[in-house]
Amino acid sequence: MTDGEFDALDRAILLELQRDGRAPFTGIAARLQVAEGTVRKRVSRLVERGVLRLVGIIDPARVGRTIQAIVGIRIGDGHLEQVVDHLRSLPQVRYLGVSAGAYDLIVEVVVASNDELYHFLTDQLRRVPGVAASDTSMILKVFKDRFEWRPYEDEQPVWGEAGELKRP
């Protein structure tokens, strides 16, 4: 589903769910002046197409995982898939992406202590076949987390004279 396949109502529903992922469809429908069934069908379509996932998001710090680090990893030739498969299975790895630039992979690691990060880097990461080198940067304070990303926040719903929702 591309941006062109969204209409103003889809965007408005997405914004409502980002504000409160547990908001009842009846409340969303009332605020957007549409039928509850319309909201339910639109949300189902967005979920089916992979645009929207409704999940509980855990705050790592509130469950004792107060140390976050970004690790840039360089991979030896031909080992990318093997390293990705291994890192994907580790519970400390919250984010894993192939990158262009100085590193082959960028990894976000979330652990409970500096000692746990030390053991992750020295006992686990260095022993992964194919990892050639890594650089680690500690996250000291998080100001924005991914679930706060709102691509349509500036687009407030606009209603036409006939009561139809228009794209801003």
pLDDT given for residue 98 in this prediction: 97
pLDDT given for residue 152 in this prediction: 63
pTM (predicted TM-score) = 0.73
Token pair in block for residue 80: 């990318």
pLDDT in tens, 29-73: 999 999 999 999 999 999 999 999 988 888 888 898 999 999 999
List the domains of the chain with CATH numbers.
3-56 (1.10.10.10), 60-139 (3.30.70.920)
Q: Where are the beta strands (DSSP E) in the chain?
A: 67-75, 93-98, 105-111, 131-139, 158-159, 165-166
- Residues (pLDDT < 50) of the chain are 167-168
Q: Contact at 8 Å (CB) between 117 and 111?
A: yes
Token pair in block for residue 124: 């686990």
pLDDT given for residue 158 in this prediction: 54
pLDDT given for residue 61 in this prediction: 84
pLDDT given for residue 133 in this prediction: 96
